[in-house]
Structure 1
Amino acid sequence: MDLIPAPLSVTRPETGEYVLDTGTTLTAEPGLEGVESWLRATLNAATGLPLRPGAGGVELRLDESLAPEAYRLSVGPGGARLAAGAAAGAFLGAQTLRQLLGPDAYRRAPLRRTGWALPYTEIEDAPRFGWRGVLLDVSRHFLPKADVLRFLDLMAAHKLNVLHLHLTDDQGWRIEIKRYPRLTEVASWRDRSMVGFRAAERRNDEPHGGFYTQDDLREIVAYADARHITVVPEIDLPGHSQAAISAYPELGNTDVVDTAGLSVWTDWGISENVLNVSEQTLRFFEGVLEEVLEIFPSQFVHLGGDECRKEQWKLSQAAQNRIKELGVADEDGLQSWFIGHFDSWLADRGRRLIGWDEILEGGLAPGAAVSSWRGYEGGVAAAKAGHDVVMCPEQHVYLDHRQAAGEDEPIPVGFVRTLEDVYRFEPIPAELDATAAARVIGTQANLWTEFMNDARDVDYRAFPRLAAFAEVAWSDLPREPAARDWADFERRMATHYARLDALGVEYRPAAGPHPWQRRPGVLGRPSEGPGNS
């Protein structure tokens, strides 16, 4: 049956299959109406079968003995019975049912109206991690709303359940904030972009930009929620903030830089223009976050906190006065205080801060969580200190990194991470004891888009590796990477490629990129050690 991600257990009690035809029904218990509606619409589009309500056929049920994301799928002569602990589990089980119908079940119009059947089977399944995430960087290269909605469908098909939406950075601000209109009037576009890595000193002359209105984002959140995906927004601070400073120069370190002359950054990398630490700047971003919280109901709000360059704070008398006033040791302590302010601000509103592992430096409030990107070290330290951790080490699950060492790879970046490498990624380090390991609430693959101009580029970098990552996040694989059955996964991928084809995903072929997927002559970036995006 070639299921991806692999379920906990699959048995075939007898041979045979349950045939779906124009008389097949689909019904659900109260509380599962949303899953029923999604499944009927999805399968009707692909098969042309009406799947009218009625007893028998395909039935969706609740079972309180199961965990919320767990499900049990039984297919036999009498039909298909999908039981789940909650609507989320039923939706995840519906994804498995769709896989059982074959790759054509992923099309948006029927190629045939007969020949649809589910093999007799018993499947018991539940996820390993509660946070199965993907970061999508829409700041460096903006993705229109339709592309984000499509990406949510691709996540759902792989049982991924957290979309980390990177909305702000030096190169662009992508969220409408009504009280600060210049964030979209000025900070949402740049007049040109780098082409490839900075060492090439190559740029185009094409303006780039875009932003999501608040209603766009509410639509994205609602669309994700219907697929049991949580959208976690990221507003990056106090570094990675040049776009915001270009719109509101008073946010910068005006005593050392003429911030009125700044524009949205056209380089990749890390700008030295960071936020000042005045009370006015705190109030500004409290105002930003008030509107963010109105749009995003997620428990976690990501505030970045990474790669904040300190040169301007060292030169700024205002920053130095603030250090003395607060009684912190140095500029690192100043950043810790800045992050701590917003940690408390979010906690007072019933939310939780999550940030990149730099937020550990100088201490961290008990409720904050850590995205461990500079290897495992930050996550290990955070887990041992009692903080929740999402493991996303750059060396393993940054999917903007190159997929092979060959010269044909488009804009080759960072470490070589093949499909097999991602499949052998283990989120929980062996040195964590059971108590600390329980603090690893999940794992995440990150897609930074400096070298991804559009959805086709995102497809190429994400797939097929995101399928391997999905299995790592969901399935009960051996903890020792070498013990994982790569040959079995590779065999199942042969069927999964056909699903991706039906979905229209422009993935990297196993034999190497298509000619139109290459970027000859565009310089990439070899690995130079840790370096977030």
Structure 2
Amino acid sequence: MIPQPVSITRNDGFFHLNPAVPLDADPGSEGVATWLRNALRCPLPPGRGGVTLRVDPSKPIEGYALTCAPASLEITGGSAAGVFRGAQTLRQLLPPAALRRAGAVDWNVPAVTITDQPRFAWRGVMLDVARHFMPVADVLRFLDLAAFHKLNVLHLHLTDDQGWRVEIPGWPRLTSVGAWRPSSMLGARVHARDDGRPHGGFYTTDDLREIVAYAASLHMTVVPEVDMPGHMQAAVAAYPELGNGFRGGVRTTWGISSHVLNLGDEAMAFCRAVLDHVCDVFPSELIGIGGDECPPDEWEGLGLSGAQPWFTAQMAEHLASRGRRLYGWDEILTGGAPPGAVVAAWRGPRPTTVAARLGHDVVSCPDIAVYLDYRQSDDPGEPTPVGTLLTLEDVYRFQPVPPGLTPEEAAHVLGGQANVWTEHMENARRVDYMTYPRLCALAEAVWDPPGRSYESFMTRLPEHLSRLDALGVNYRPLTGPRPWDARPDAPGNPQTLPGRLAQLAEMTANLPKTD
């Protein structure tokens, strides 16, 4: 199983699961019972003497115990979320055919005793739907696969220079103009190739409510991100009065736009209106504002300095008035992150250490360990190879808590997440290839204790890949890319690790000193 349970004991015999087996659900676990019936394609009529779902608040909130004997199968969780994690383990105890949507429901579940709980409270994956839009059905499938691996957070990157994907009442041009671009780059931007094909799309409020509700049924939280005050060219293209004199369209090239928001009253009111709507749609305590890669050139041309920390503080104050906390990339540490802000530490391992030592809660997601757009091997058949080499083993060996932190500092590390940036992933099939099985490795890295074994993982992975086959996942084969995975029309731009480390050292030189 992946992630591997903390404790598992194989016993004698099997439990026979078929449509006549009754299911007894405790108050609080009824939603899991409904989900399980649907997932197993099995009616499991109400009653005792078969499958039992129980909530025991004395257990860790996402912890569970699964006890399977020839006469009964019981899952007890510390909450409904714990029961749900145990139900996902039950799915992995079944043959891969049980994950398909057809076939007879007549399976033997091996008799086992499992005790399990996650190491980290935040086990996430970020999905960028701004660079390439992903239809609602694909997002729901992405959630299903993440939940199957016991991840519990989807960080949804909704806006960027290349597209605005969320409708905001009173601002119709954000989606009529900002959600569309006339073309996209083919491959890394150093090659300056263009596909000449229009691209776009956006989520209505009802779409987003559906995504949130579906995630909740999987005991996952959707943390939205609307990037500001940088990465805003799509918004400024729609409403030029929000910018600093830019008159142009949605960005068609990858990289960072220098066209950022102005900080006048109208732009600030716009940002508050956006965050208000996002708060109305997403119940997450954390609301992402990005805050990364914001060139100050336009502000400096107007004689403004120190503008971004002021802006971040204003947004944090507004979110606090809504009972929410600001979530931003580690650039918000420069100049002082607002009290209560949560940091997504991406520029190598150092920002996690800095944030934790400053007393900020932090999600560890260093690019050189968990950026799943980075190439998976040096095979010339890898599609659009960019970034540093990030193998399956590299992701597995990710440690969210950097060495050198005291126990008090380490407690600020909420967990870790993988980031799926989609400049070079134009559809769900490409996302599958770049994400799996590396996300399987990430799932185990954020669930299991530090002593986990890559060798054990690799003995379990082939059987797990048969589950991904049953689920229709276009994962990268362990033997390497297939001929049709290549993208000769979209060349990449690989980077060496020493070169990237040198860049990261320069990029983080202005972080607060904590040594």
Moved over 6 A (4+): none
Describe the SS at the equivalent of 1:358: helix
In the other structure, the counterpart of 2:27 is 30
Quick check: 1:10 aligned with 2:13?
A: no
Alignment of 1:255-274 (within 5 A): 259=246, 261-274=247-260
Structure 2 counterpart of 1:416, from 369, 389, 409: 389
Describe the SS at the equivalent of 1:15: strand
Quick check: 1:355 aligned with 2:328?
A: yes
Amino acid at match of 1:262: G
Alignment of 1:42-61 (within 5 A): 42-44=39-41, 49-61=42-54
Amino acid at match of 2:470: A
In the other structure, the counterpart of 1:134 is 125
Quick check: 1:228 aligned with 2:219?
A: yes
| Alpha-carbon distance in 2 for matches of 1:386, 1:235 | 25
Amino acid at match of 1:313: W
Amino acid at match of 2:30: E
Amino acid at match of 2:389: V
Deviations 1:81-105 (A, max 9, x none): 1101110001010000111012112
| Alpha-carbon distance in 1 for matches of 2:492, 2:127 | 20
Shift, 1:223, TM fit: 0.3
Aligned 8 A contact 2:381 2:482 in 1:
no
| Alpha-carbon distance in 2 for matches of 1:176, 1:469 | 32
Quick check: 1:170 aligned with 2:143?
A: no
Amino acid at match of 1:58: V
Aligned-residue RMSD, C-alpha? 1.2
Aligned 8 A contact 1:241 1:273 in 2:
yes
Shift, 1:487, TM fit: 1.7
Describe the SS at the equivalent of 1:312: helix
In the other structure, the counterpart of 2:93 is 100
Amino acid at match of 2:152: N
| Alpha-carbon distance in 1 for matches of 2:394, 2:148 | 22
| Alpha-carbon distance in 2 for matches of 1:366, 1:516 | 49
In the other structure, the counterpart of 1:493 is 461
| Alpha-carbon distance in 2 for matches of 1:520, 1:341 | 46
| Alpha-carbon distance in 1 for matches of 2:223, 2:421 | 16
- Indicate how the Cα distance of structure 1 residues 220 and 22 shifts in structure 2: closer, same or farther if over 3 A, else same: closer
- Identify unmatched segments of 5+ residues in structure 1: 324-329, 479-483
Structure 2 counterpart of 1:279, from 242, 265, 274: 265
| Alpha-carbon distance in 1 for matches of 2:324, 2:218 | 22
| Alpha-carbon distance in 2 for matches of 1:390, 1:149 | 23
Structure 1 counterpart of 2:210, from 204, 212, 219: 219
Aligned 8 A contact 1:170 1:241 in 2:
yes
| Alpha-carbon distance in 2 for matches of 1:221, 1:19 | 35
Describe the SS at the equivalent of 2:354: helix
- Report the count of equivalent residues: 500
Quick check: 1:367 aligned with 2:340?
A: yes
Alignment of 1:268-307 (within 5 A): 268-307=254-293
Which range moved further: 19-28 or 283-292? 19-28
| Alpha-carbon distance in 2 for matches of 1:79, 1:27 | 11
Amino acid at match of 2:3: P
| Alpha-carbon distance in 2 for matches of 1:443, 1:356 | 13
In the other structure, the counterpart of 2:231 is 240
Describe the SS at the equivalent of 1:122: strand
Aligned 8 A contact 2:352 2:402 in 1:
no
Amino acid at match of 2:269: R
Quick check: 1:20 aligned with 2:13?
A: no
Aligned 8 A contact 1:414 1:526 in 2:
yes
Shift, 1:477, TM fit: 3.0
Which range moved further: 17-26 or 464-473? 17-26
In the other structure, the counterpart of 2:78 is 85
Structure 1 counterpart of 2:298, from 297, 312, 320: 312
| Alpha-carbon distance in 1 for matches of 2:233, 2:3 | 40
In the other structure, the counterpart of 2:102 is 109
Alignment of 1:373-452 (within 5 A): 373-452=346-425
Shift, 1:526, TM fit: 2.0
Structure 1 counterpart of 2:470, from 502, 515, 519: 502
Aligned 8 A contact 2:187 2:489 in 1:
no
| Alpha-carbon distance in 2 for matches of 1:446, 1:270 | 18
Amino acid at match of 1:122: T
Aligned 8 A contact 1:26 1:40 in 2:
no
| Alpha-carbon distance in 2 for matches of 1:8, 1:487 | 16
Shift, 1:22, TM fit: 3.5
Deviations 1:398-438 (A, max 9, x none): 00000001111000010111111111111101111100000
- Identify unmatched segments of 5+ residues in structure 2: 508-515
Alignment of 1:184-195 (within 5 A): 184-195=175-186
In the other structure, the counterpart of 2:149 is 158
Aligned 8 A contact 2:186 2:489 in 1:
no
Shift, 1:16, TM fit: 1.1
In the other structure, the counterpart of 1:336 is 309
Structure 2 counterpart of 1:468, from 433, 441, 465: 441
Describe the SS at the equivalent of 1:120: strand
| Alpha-carbon distance in 2 for matches of 1:509, 1:474 | 24
Shift, 1:31, TM fit: 1.0
| Alpha-carbon distance in 2 for matches of 1:501, 1:77 | 29
In the other structure, the counterpart of 2:485 is 517
Shift, 1:296, TM fit: 0.3
In the other structure, the counterpart of 2:427 is 454
Describe the SS at the equivalent of 1:4: coil
Shift, 1:389, TM fit: 0.3
Aligned 8 A contact 1:73 1:80 in 2:
yes
Quick check: 1:201 aligned with 2:192?
A: yes
| Alpha-carbon distance in 1 for matches of 2:181, 2:203 | 16
Aligned 8 A contact 1:99 1:105 in 2:
no
Amino acid at match of 1:241: M
Amino acid at match of 2:363: V
Aligned 8 A contact 1:371 1:392 in 2:
yes
| Alpha-carbon distance in 1 for matches of 2:91, 2:430 | 27
Structure 2 counterpart of 1:183, from 163, 168, 174: 174
Aligned 8 A contact 1:175 1:212 in 2:
yes
Shift, 1:368, TM fit: 0.4
| Alpha-carbon distance in 2 for matches of 1:147, 1:22 | 30
| Alpha-carbon distance in 1 for matches of 2:35, 2:238 | 42
Shift, 1:161, TM fit: 0.6
Amino acid at match of 1:505: V
Aligned 8 A contact 2:130 2:163 in 1:
yes
